[in-house]
Chain A
Amino acid sequence: MAVTEKRSASQIWGVGVRQIVYMALGAALYGGLSWVTNSLQLPSAGNVSFRPAIVIPLFFGAVFGPLVGLFAGGIGNLLGDYISGYGVFWNWDVGNALIGFIAGLAILYTWGRYNTTQKIVVAEVLSAIGIIVGISFAALNDMWISKLSFTTAVTGEIFPAAGSDLINGLILLPILLVAYNAAVRRTGRA
C-alpha cells in the first residue's frame, strides 16, 4: 500500500509535543557538550571557545525545523554558560539561536530528510550562513555592550569564533545527518 506523506507549514512552524521534546533535548545536548569543551578557549579578544558542540543546533535545526534549532541554540548556549557558572550573556544566546534558526531553514527544502548529497549540501550552506550571521550578530553587539571597536569585533571575535564553528559544524554535520538516516532506517522511526 502506498503511503502519501502530507506536508504542511504546521510541520515546520508548529510547536507540538515532538518539537518541545527535541527543543529541550537539543538545548541539553548543546549545553552539556559545550560545558565539556568550554575549557578549550581560543586565543581571541572575546568569549570564544573551541566548540564541536556547535553541530547540535545545526543538526536539530536541519532535522526538526527552525524553531527547534532556534531554541536548541539559544537555550543551549544559556545552559552551557549557566552550568559553567559564567552567568548569562544574552547577545551570545541570541546569536546562537540565530545559528540554529537559519540552519533550520534547510527543512523548507529537505523536509527533514537527508538522503541525497544535494540535501546535505543545502543543510551545509544554510548552516554556514547561520554561523556567520549568528556570530556576527553577537560580536557586533559586543561593539555596543563592551564597547569593542569594529576591527576588534571582526578580527577578535567573528574570525576566530565563526572560523572554529564553521570547521567544527561543517565537518560534523554531514556525519550526524548520515548517522541519523541510518538510525531512522534501522529503527523505523522518523
Chain B
Amino acid sequence: MLFNFPYIKRDTPIHRLDPRVKLILLFFFGLAVAQTSNFWFILAGLIFATFYYSKARLKWSETRHAWIFIIVLNFMIVVGNYFLSAGSVVQGVDLSHQHILFSIPFFGFKSMPPFIGPAPLIFSVESITFMITQGMRNFSIALLAVPIPFTTDPSQMGVAFKGMGLSYKFSYAIDLAFRFLPTVARDFSTTLDAQRARGFEIDKLRGGIFGKIARLAPMVVPVVIGSVVGAEDIINAMELRCFGVRKRTWYIELHTRPLDRMFIALILIGFGAFTLLNILGNFYTLGPLHFLHTQGIPHFLAP
C-alpha cells in the first residue's frame, strides 16, 4: 500500500503562511460563522474563503477526492436536516411571520406515540434562505480547511502546535505520530498480503454485520499488537538518549513574518468585534446592531 501525505510543495502565499495562522484562521472563522445565519454575512465569508482558497493554487485533480466527499456530505447535511426537521430548520431568528410558499405531505416526528406520523413539509422564504446559508457556511469552512493538509508540510505540524502553547511532550508526540504513519501503512500492507496468502479476503467478508467485524480481527490484531510490542524498542532507544530529562528543541523553527503577525492580529480583532456585535444584537432588537440576528432577506422577497 503506497502512502503519501497530501502535501504539495509549491510557492504560493498560502504555502508561505505560517501553519499557526492557517489553524487560527480556520478555528476563529468557524466560531464566527457559527454565530449568525445572516445570508449577507455568510456570503461575504464565502467570498473571502474562496479568495483564500484560490491563492493556494490547488488544482481540481489534486483535491477532487476531498471535494467530492465534501460536496456529498454538505448536500446530505443540508437536505437531510431539512427533511428530518420537517422544514423547521431556521434557528435563532424570529419566525412569527413566516412567508410560506407551499407545503407537501410528509412524515414528521411527534411528541406522542407512535412518535412519527403524517405532517406537512413546509417550504418558506425563510427556510429556503436558511438552507442556502447553511450550505454556504459549510462550504466556506471547507474552503479554509481543505488547503491545510495540501499546503502545510507535515513536519511543521508538531512545531506549529508547540508554537501555539501546547506542551513540548504533546507536540513531540504529534511529530512522532506523523512519522509513524508510513510505518503503520507498511505494516498494514504486509499483514494484508500475509493474510491473503492464508486465504483471508478483506474485500469479501462473509456473514452479517457482527460476523464481518469479527472477521476483521485477523487484520487489526496483528497490526496493532505488533506495533505495540515493537514500540518497546523505540521507548528503550528514547530512554537511552535521556528523552524527557530536559526540554527539547526542534530542527525546524517557525519564524512568524510581520505579515503572519498582522494576519493573526486581524483574525483576533475581527473575531472579537464580530462577537461583540453579536452580543450587542441581543440587547438592541432593532437597527444595525441587530444585523447578525436576522436572515437579511430583502423586503421584496418577504414583504
Q: Does B6 contact A (CB under 8 A)?
A: yes
Interface residues on B, range: 35 or more
Residues of chain A contacted by B238 (CB below 8 angstroms): 17, 20-21
Decide: A171 near B176, CB < 8 A? Known: A33-B220, A145-B30, A156-B84.
Answer: no
Q: Which residues from 6 to 58 on chain A have a C-beta closer than 8 Å to any C-beta of chain B?
A: 15-18, 20-25, 27-29, 31-33, 36, 41, 44-47, 52-53, 55-56
Q: Which residue of B lies closest to A16 (CB)?
A: B244
Q: Which residue of A lies closest to B27 (CB)?
A: A90
Residues of chain B contacted by A152 (CB below 8 angstroms): 80-81, 84-85
Task: Point out the residue from A23, A27, A151, A189 that lies within 8 Å of B229, measured CB to CB.
Answer: A189
Total A-B residue contacts, Cβ distance less than 8 Å:
207
Residues of chain A contacted by B21 (CB below 8 angstroms): none
Q: Which residue of B lies closest to A31 (CB)?
A: B181
Cβ contact within 8 Å between B224 and A176: yes
Interface segment among A81-89, A101-109, A121-129: the answer is A81-89
Residues of chain A contacted by B179 (CB below 8 angstroms): 24
Cβ contact within 8 Å between A45 and B229: no
Cβ contact within 8 Å between A87 and B145: yes
Cβ contact within 8 Å between B73 and A46: yes
Cα separation A89 to B66 with both chains bound (whole Å): 13
Cα separation A39 to B15 with both chains bound (whole Å): 28
Cβ contact within 8 Å between A87 and B231: no
Cβ contact within 8 Å between A45 and B76: yes
Q: Does A114 contact B (CB under 8 A)?
A: no
Q: Does A172 contact B (CB under 8 A)?
A: yes
Cβ contact within 8 Å between A46 and B77: yes
Interface of A is mostly: helix
Residues of chain A contacted by B244 (CB below 8 angstroms): 16-17, 20
Residues of chain B contacted by A167 (CB below 8 angstroms): 209-210, 213
Cβ contact within 8 Å between A172 and B216: yes
Chain A residues proximal to chain B, CB less than 8 Å: 15-18, 20-25, 27-29, 31-33, 36, 41, 44-47, 52-53, 55-56, 59, 63, 71, 75-76, 79, 82-90, 144-149, 151-152, 155-156, 167-168, 171-172, 175-176, 179-180, 183, 187, 189
Question: Could you list 15 examples of A-B contacts with CB < 8 Å?
Answer: A17-B238, A20-B238, A24-B175, A28-B180, A28-B183, A46-B73, A46-B77, A87-B145, A147-B137, A148-B77, A148-B81, A155-B84, A176-B224, A179-B221, A183-B229
